[in-house]
Amino acid sequence: MLSKVYAAALQGIDAIVVTIEVSTEAGFGFTLVGLPDAAVRESHQRIMTAMHENGYEFPRRGVVVNMSPADVRKEGASYDLPLALGVMSATGMIPSERLSRFMIMGELSLDGTLLPVTGALPMAIKAREMGFEGMIVPEANASEAAVVNRLDVYGMDNLRSVIDFFKCESSPQPVRVDTRTEFAAAEGVFDCDFAEVKGQEGVKRAFEVACAGGHNILLVGPPGAGKSMMAKRLPTIMPPLTLAEALETTKIHSVAGVLPRGSRLMTARPFRAPHHTISPVALVGGGINPRPGEISLAHNGVLFLDEFPEFSRNVLEVMRQPLEDHCISISRAKYSINYPAAFMLVASMNPCPCGYYTHPTRACTCTPSAVQRYLGRISGPLLDRIDLQVEIMPVPFTELSSLQKGESSEVIRRRVMAARERQSRRYAGVPDVHCNAQMTETMLHTYARPDDEALQILRDAMDHYDMSARAYSRILKVARTIADLDASDTITSVHIHEAISYRNLDRSL
């Protein structure tokens, strides 16, 4: 008897349907074909033991399983449940009429308990797209998959409950999630605020400009000046995620397997802060079993690189292309995958190895050549791609001990959102451009043309500091953002002056 069960495989952050065909024949043995990896091939023992623990015996005859499409590699233990149901259906233990109406995924423990899988959200999206009536997933993945509307998602805790469902001996209710209501309720909930930051008004202004235009920013200052503290508060002033952005971000984290159990839709922009010992593959993604890297996990959010020069040069240089294209293409002998990577880079560093080169009171112990070598760890092409380079100094005691709170994140966020709204209207008819940082060179001449006085100031700065053509473009984009914060259609000398002041390392070097 031939039975068919439908599952899914992940390709990048999307899913494709996998048809599992099970046939029984005279003889003995279990044959599995269709490019399964080691975890899938080992499913035989898990299935056999789980069936026995739930009162069923594995058939004493030959079983042949084909996983189609046969040229797509099947990875992981998430195929245990559909394989078990396919075997039981092919031998008449459960009826096969309802199996074709559901997409089924789940890992089996030896006692039949269903363990969570990765990528439940993109699989559920694919199930709805292909017209399946519903989806069977482990209970831990039910809330995540139920984010997809117009699809009945059933969360099951063990093999016995799934068998009873297909034998019509139980009628569990599908999991319901009111996505829009929950998304709106959780929006804007943070555990930190810029009101807690004492002083540093110039740096706060730079963060506001960076968020308003989606610009990358580098903080340079001595230890204890507040670089990490302020960077962690950056998501609190960024515009809230749209529902489409939240779905895309959740898909990436689901595929990477980093969503907490029982979680649903991500409502806050991601903030990723990898250690400086990270490898290039961990940063950009890939590997034997390809997974998104840190730059994709930071998609629609912030990638914070503390101690910037301590990262290996190979790690830093692989970011140059994603910073421009907002995606990463990973090509290997056995696969080629594209992951989105539209992140905002926030980096921080000391001005020298000892950290006190610019400190107002503590003496630096580094030689000038040591300072130059330290700064030289950041290549010119990478530095050019960072729009704002800001110097941060320690907060004086009078400001640090003050009881007066600073401006709250909510107030700053409203100004940022107003500037982003101006940009949304400006680029409404331009695909893939949503903020000033994403403007192309052609668009600069249309939307970021300064007046005559501002143009002369920019020309003098370019000549004096010997800036590159990319730095010229970055200054114009930042000036356009500053003008948007002022609700000005024209880029004036004031806006250009401020934008040039944010090229701190260009001016220092």
pLDDT value at residue 509: 46
Q: What is the DSSP string of 259-285?
A: SPTT-----S--EE---TT--HHHHHE
Distances (CA, A) of 118 to 69, 258, 300: 20, 9, 21
pLDDT value at residue 234: 93
Residue 335 identity (one-letter amino acid): Y
pLDDT value at residue 381: 85
CA distance 280 to 256: 16
pLDDT value at residue 206: 95
CB 118 within 8 A of CB 137: no
Instruction: Indicate if the alpha-carbon torsion angle 265, 271, 276, 279 is positive or negative.
Output: positive
Nearest to 254 by CA among 175, 108, 145: 145
CA atoms lying within 13 Å on the CB side of residue 219: 32
Those residues whose C-beta lies under 8 Å from the C-beta of residue 141, and which sit 6 or more positions away, are 105, 116, 117, 120, 155
The phi, psi pair for 33, rounded to 5°, reads -125, 165
Give pLDDT tens digits along the chain (509 positions). 789 999 999 988 899 999 999 998 877 888 999 999 999 999 999 999 999 999 999 988 889 999 999 988 899 999 999 999 999 999 989 988 889 999 999 999 999 999 999 999 999 999 999 999 999 999 999 999 999 989 999 999 999 999 999 998 888 999 988 777 767 666 666 788 888 888 888 899 999 999 999 999 999 999 988 899 999 999 999 998 888 888 999 999 999 988 887 777 888 899 999 999 999 999 999 887 788 999 999 999 999 999 999 999 999 999 988 998 889 988 877 778 889 999 999 999 999 999 888 888 888 999 999 998 998 888 888 888 899 999 998 888 777 777 778 889 999 999 999 999 999 999 998 888 889 999 988 899 889 999 999 999 999 999 888 888 888 999 999 999 999 999 999 999 999 999 999 987 765 54
What is the distance of C-alpha 238 from the center of its chain?
A: 15
**How much of the chain is helix, strand and coil, in % rounded to 5?**
40, 20, 40
- Classified as helix, coil or strand, 14 is strand
CA distance 310 to 347: 11
Helices (H) and strands (E) in the chain, counts: 23, 18
pLDDT value at residue 45: 93
pLDDT value at residue 177: 81
CA distance 509 to 507: 6
Those residues whose C-beta lies under 8 Å from the C-beta of residue 398, and which sit 6 or more positions away, are none
CA distance 98 to 400: 67
